[in-house]
Amino acid sequence: MNNTICDTIKLTLPPGYNTIFVKLIERFIRMANRLAKLIYAKPVLTVLILLLLLMYFPLFGHLGNLSIRIWDEARVTMNAYEMWRSGDLLVTKYLGKPDLWNTKPPLLIWIQSFFLNFIDNLELAVRLPSALAGSATILLVYFFVIKQTKSVVTGLIAALVLLSSRGYINIHGTRTGDYDALLVFFTTLSCLMFWLFIENKRPVNLYIFFISLALGVLTKSISALLFLPALMMYVIYRKKIADLLKNNHFYFGSVIFIGITIGFYLLREYAAPGYLKAVSENELLGRYLNVIEFHNEPFRFYYDQLLKYRYKDYFLLILPGALAGLFLLKDQRIKKLTIFVILLIVSYFMIISMGKTKLSWYDLPMYPFFAIVVSFVFSYLLQIRNQLPLKGIYRKIGGIIILLSIVVFLTDMMTIITKQSYKPQDDYWEKAEYTLPYYLRDALQGKHDLKNINVIYDGYNAMIWPYIYKLQDQGINISLKELTRLNTDDQVISYQPKLIESLNKKFDVEIMRKGDKIITYKLLKRK
């Protein structure tokens, strides 16, 4: 094996570089061989430990560095903080009132408010559930693929493909306190359990399916149900409709699902009337049939996103993986699984592509199934490895394939770690809107004295309020006010030029402190 790869390197490098690069490659291969011996001795455990180590930086590295993100994460953070403050676990609130803008059920918010009891870092507390859900999904894919293919290597490849998917390990994925990572875990678990039940007829798989489906609904409402058409198509393909309808466990499971989901919605409506109306307008058909908040995109939006960035390094392997699972791998169970996964991907892709409101992260539930299909390419390569003559051109081709696979994976991992995990930074176009959140976060760490300060801000301010609340809980008298509510002798901080211009038109001001961006004013008298 060493000679295969080293010969390949020698063929592609100028003579002067051969010695250095070949020695590096030989050292790498020796380390890989030692690891391979360990894996051979205790494969599942050793690879699991390796996978857990690889998962740390992309999922958890510097998770709390960025301030709370505007829009969804900010709103969810406010819901969680107010739930933690009030102890009301049923009605999510925003600024003390029932939140009828963010109408999603509160499972994620329950988990975030739980972590707020133990973690002082606000950002880490609200993002940790997403990172843990991402970890659980990767491990679920790892063990499931091992079980079905009987190959630890194929399971590892599936897990690594998911771990190195740029769209998945990202903002609004596993790296922020949004609903989507937790949703992906429950949709993945429910779909895989349903397939296992159809193939094995074990009632426990069916009950896990219904419970995880219900928890998915409690995470992100109707989004958890978008794979149901594909599940029904698979039941029809496998001619299992009669078996399903004759199974008592199907009805018991349905009762559990309805009890959990409908029970919550009725309780929520009883506790704060008007909730069901808001849900029907915002989540059921309103968002799907109408463009919400200007998120109008063409039908091929998700295809372009996947091909050009979010899944670009693995996208072209989806079709070969499907072909390998359908025709090249001889295991009939893998063929059935491939058909199932193809139905999931195609059905879900068509549903979200036909929706009027399109957002890039709506594609996330497909990523675990992409990873499973892509792993079949490598499963087939592993299968034929021992059937090919390992000499001449085959040795060189084998070395090139191994090197390319390593390069692709390492490239994606380094991109994710550099951009998302190792000192993550705001994009240039969003730096201005996060100036105030970072300033307030510094005040929480004692870097600024904000006693008796009024904050003014022009724009959507949900990402500011959590820091205001946390400073208030530390006993600091600080408030976020509109310009029209300011009075003489108030101390005010701001940094937005138009807002400062309006302030100077209404008051004579004295500059108390001037930082790099934030300025503290004292209002002397009205003009």
DSSP reduced 3-state for 523: strand
Q: What is the pLDDT of residue 446?
A: 93
- pTM of the predicted protein model: 0.90
- 527 residues of the chain, pLDDT tens digit each: 445 445 544 444 455 545 565 666 667 666 666 666 666 666 778 888 889 998 999 999 999 999 999 999 999 999 999 999 999 999 999 999 999 999 999 999 999 999 999 999 999 999 999 999 999 999 999 999 999 999 888 999 999 999 999 999 999 999 999 999 999 999 999 999 999 999 999 999 999 999 999 999 999 999 999 999 999 999 999 999 999 999 999 999 999 999 999 999 999 999 999 999 999 888 876 676 666 766 678 999 999 999 998 998 899 999 999 999 999 998 999 999 999 999 999 999 999 999 888 999 999 999 999 999 999 998 888 777 656 665 555 555 555 665 666 667 777 777 777 777 777 888 888 888 999 999 999 999 999 999 999 999 999 999 999 999 999 999 999 999 999 999 999 999 999 999 999 999 999 999 999 988 999 999 999 98
d(CA 175, CA 172): 7
Among 42, 88, 33, smallest CA distance to 402 is for 33
Question: Residue ranges of the domains in the chain?
Answer: 42-66+108-421, 430-526
Q: What are the beta bridge partners of residue 519?
A: 494, 514
Beta bridge partners of 455: 480, 493
Q: Report residue 439 CA to chain centroid gap.
A: 27
Q: What is the pLDDT of residue 5?
A: 46
Going by C-beta distance under 8 Å and a sequence separation of 6 or more, which residues neighbour residue 8? Answer: 396, 399, 400, 403
* Contact in structure between 51 and 156 (CB atoms under 8 Å): yes
C-alpha triplet 304, 421, 406: angle, nearest 5°: 65
CA–CA separation, 59 and 216 (whole Å)? 21
Q: DSSP letters along 143-183, please?
A: HHHHHHH--HHHHHHHHHHHHT-TTTSSTTTTTSSSSHHHH
Please report the pLDDT score of residue 1 as a whole number: 46
DSSP state of 357: B
Q: d(Cα 483, Cα 333) in Å, to the nearest integer?
A: 66
3-state DSSP call for residue 322? helix
Other CB atoms within a 10 A radius of the CB of residue 10 amount to 14
The phi-psi region of residue 294 (left if phi > 0; otherwise alpha if psi is between -120 and 50; otherwise beta) is left
Contact 89, 110 (CB under 8 A): yes
Q: Which residues contact 405 (CB under 8 A, 6 or more apart)?
A: 378
What pLDDT sits at residue 13? 47
pLDDT confidence of residue 327: 94
